[in-house]
Amino acid sequence: MDNRKLKRYVALIEQKRSLEEELTATKEAMAELDEYIMENMLESGTQKITMDGYTVYIQRMLWASGANGQDALNQAIIGEGYAELVEPRVNANRLAALVREYDADPTCLHDEYGLPILPGDLKDAIKISEQFKVRARKTA
């Protein structure tokens, strides 16, 4: 292995961590100013302010979620004629966790690639793939 490339990789990890820390600090500083700017713009009735090539403005966004659980929400949406908004879904993280549980089970059979063989209809309904990534952790 070329140690120069490994050294460059480790240097990039350190640079990434440093930039992420700087970004976190920048976001925190902006969040502290957000309230002040919003309050002053609302009090003065200002729609937008242009400064140093940026236009600062307040954007209104509406979000919606179920007030009484998913089933009640689904029934209300369907009842009001918006059935196209309701979709059955599987949580990808929970599905992956289920597959990892099967994989860790000592009684689980594995295929020629080392992937778990799932029981019943799950075998054909779930596609299992592996992903490998190089990771690094700062040593003490």
Phi-psi region for residue 131, left (φ > 0), alpha (ψ -120 to 50) or beta? beta
- The pLDDT tens digits of the residues spanning 55-73 come to 999 998 888 889 998 899 9
* Banded model confidence at residue 109, pLDDT cuts 50, 70, 90: very high
Residue 131 forms part of a structural domain: no
- The pLDDT tens digits of the residues spanning 81-108 come to 999 999 988 899 999 999 999 999 999 9
Residue 137 DSSP SS3: coil
Residue 49 DSSP SS3: strand
Residue 62 forms part of a structural domain: no
State whether 45 and 78 are in the same domain: no
- Total domain count, the chain: 2
Domain containing 98 equals: 70-125
State whether 51 and 79 are in the same domain: no
Query: Which are the contacts of 103, defined by CB distance < 8 A and separation ≥ 6?
Result: 110, 115, 116
Residue 63 forms part of a structural domain: no
Last residue of a domain, one of 12, 34, 57: 57
- The pLDDT tens digits of the residues spanning 12-26 come to 999 999 999 999 999
Residue 88 forms part of a structural domain: yes
**47, 57 Cβ separation under 8 angstroms:** yes
Q: Which residue has the tokens 């879904």?
A: 89
pLDDT, the chain, mean: 92
| Residue 106 Cα distances to 101, 103, 129, angstroms | 10, 8, 20
Tokens of 23: 């970004």
